[in-house]
Structure 1
Amino acid sequence: MLLLAAAAPARADNAEVTQLRLERTEEGVLLSASVSFELPPAVEDALLKGIPMFFVADASLLRDRWYWYDKHIAGGSRHMRLSYQPLTRRWRLQLSSQPIGNAGLTLGQSFDTQEEALAAVRNVSRWKIAELSDLEPDAKYSVDFRFRLDVSQLPRPFQIGAVGQSDWSIFAGRNQRLALENGR
C-alpha cells in the first residue's frame, strides 16, 4: 500500500525534504524521500580537490502514545561517501548502513558527472526501515527523517575549520504523521 504524506515540508537554511513517502509491502515498511540542496562553495571545492564528503540519512518509525513520548519502533541509518577522482574525472558514491570507515559491507557506484552523483545522494528509494511484524494494526505512526552532511568523518584539519561554519552545514529534516492502512 502506498501512503502519501500531506504535511508541509520542514525547511532548513540550505536544504529541504521535498518528498517523503512510506509503503507497506511484503518486504516490510519502505521509505522513499527526496532532499533538495546545493553544495556550499567550500564543500564543492574540497570535493573537486579529491576530499570525500560523507552524508547520513536517518529514519525512525515512531508509534503514538498518549501517556509518554512516542515509542521508537524501528529505523536505521544510511551512510554515503561521495568522492571525486581528479585523475579519472569520475565521481564515486559508496553506501553503507554503518559509517564507511568502520569496514563492513559497502555498495559502490561510479558516475560521469557531479549532477548524476548528487542526484543519487539526494534521493532515497525503497529503503526498508521496519518489518511488517513490528506494526500494530490500529496504532498511529509517524516517521522522523533527517539528512545531513557528516563533518565528523572529514579529515581532522577540515573538522576543525568546519565547526560552526555555515559553509559546511547541510541539514534537512521532516517529522510526518503517517497512517498505515489495515487492508492489503
Structure 2
Amino acid sequence: MLCALGLGAGPARAGASIELAELRVERADDGLYLSARLRFELPAAVEDALDKGIAVHFVADAEVVRDRWYWYDRQMASVQRYMRVAYQPLTRRWRLNTSSEPIVSSGLGVTLTQHYDSLAEVMAAIQRITRWRIATAAELEEGGRQSVRFRFRLDASQLPRTFQIGAFGDSDWVLSVERRVDLTQEGGR
C-alpha cells in the first residue's frame, strides 16, 4: 500500500547538483519501506579522486518521527545505509560496498560487495534505493502526526586526511539532499 509519494511532499535542499527524482514510502504488514531515485553527476574533483583509487563514501539515512507539541519530536526508528565506491586498477573494475554500519579502512565488516565494469553502472546502483525497510511493525505506532525524514549525502569525513583538508570548503565535495514526507494523511489505511 502506497503511503506517500515524495514528489512535492516537502522542500528538498540540494548541494552541488543532486536531485531527488522520486521518493516513495510504503506501509506493509512487517514494517515501513522506502524507495528513492536520485539524479546527480559527480563533480570533476570527485571523479578524479575515484580514478586515482581513492574510495568515496555515500550515506543514506531515514528517520521516522512522531510530532509532539510539548517537546522535541519522538524518534520511532532510524536507519542508515553506507556505500563505498572504489576503483580497482588491477582488475579495472569498480567495487561497491554497502553496509548498515560505517565502513572503515581497518576492515569492511559485514558488507554486500558488488562489482561493476564502469563508473556509470556503479553510480546507477547508488542512485536507486529499492524497498529499504526503515521501520519494523513493532516500531510504528497508530495515531498522531508522523513523518519520515530521508537524507542522502557524500561523506567527505571518510576521505583520507589530505583530501579532507583540500575538500574543506570546496563545493565539489558537498553533495546532499534531504526531504521530509508526512505520513499522517495515510494513517487510517
TM-score (norm 2): 0.90
In the alignment, what sits opposite 1:68? 71
CA–CA separation in structure 2 for the residues paired with 1:97 and 1:115:
23
In the alignment, what sits opposite 1:3? 3
**1:117-141 CA distance string (max 9 Å, x none):** 0011111111111111222222221
Q: Does the 8 A contact of 1:9 with 1:18 survive in 2?
A: no
In the alignment, what sits opposite 1:49? 52
Shift of 1:11: 3.5
Q: Does the 8 A contact of 1:43 with 1:167 survive in 2?
A: yes
Q: Secondary structure at the match of 2:45?
A: helix
Percent of pairs identical after alignment? Answer: 54
- CA 8–175 in structure 1, closer or farther in 2 if over 3 Å, else same: closer
Shift of 1:9: 5.0
CA–CA separation in structure 2 for the residues paired with 1:139 and 1:125:
27
TM-score (norm 1): 0.92
Shift of 1:181: 3.8
Q: Write the mapping of 1:44-123 to structure 2, written as runs, cut at 5 A.
A: 44-101=47-104, 103-123=108-128
Q: Does the 8 A contact of 2:81 with 2:98 survive in 1?
A: yes
Q: Does the 8 A contact of 2:4 with 2:181 survive in 1?
A: no
Q: Does the 8 A contact of 1:54 with 1:79 survive in 2?
A: yes
CA–CA separation in structure 2 for the residues paired with 1:19 and 1:70:
25
Aligned length: 183
Q: Which amino acid aligns with 2:55?
A: P
Shift of 1:176: 1.9
Shift of 1:103: 4.2
The CA RMSD measured in Å over matched residues stands at 1.6
Match of 1:12 among 11, 14, 21: 14
**1:95-147 CA distance string (max 9 Å, x none):** 01111116431010011121110011111111111111222222221111111
Shift of 1:172: 0.8
Shift of 1:4: 2.4
Query: Can you give the 5+ residue segments of structure 1 that lack an aligned partner in the other structure?
Result: none
Higher mean displacement: 107-116 or 94-103: 94-103
Q: Which amino acid aligns with 2:78?
A: G
Q: Which amino acid aligns with 1:25?
A: A
Shift of 1:38: 0.9
1:161 is aligned to 2:163 = no
1:129 is aligned to 2:131 = no
Q: Does the 8 A contact of 1:140 with 1:178 survive in 2?
A: yes
CA–CA separation in structure 1 for the residues paired with 2:39 and 2:13:
10
CA–CA separation in structure 2 for the residues paired with 1:26 and 1:90:
39
**1:40-99 CA distance string (max 9 Å, x none):** 100001101111100001110011222222211101110000011123221110001111
Query: Can you give the 5+ residue segments of structure 2 that lack an aligned partner in the other structure?
Result: none
Q: Does the 8 A contact of 2:9 with 2:180 survive in 1?
A: no
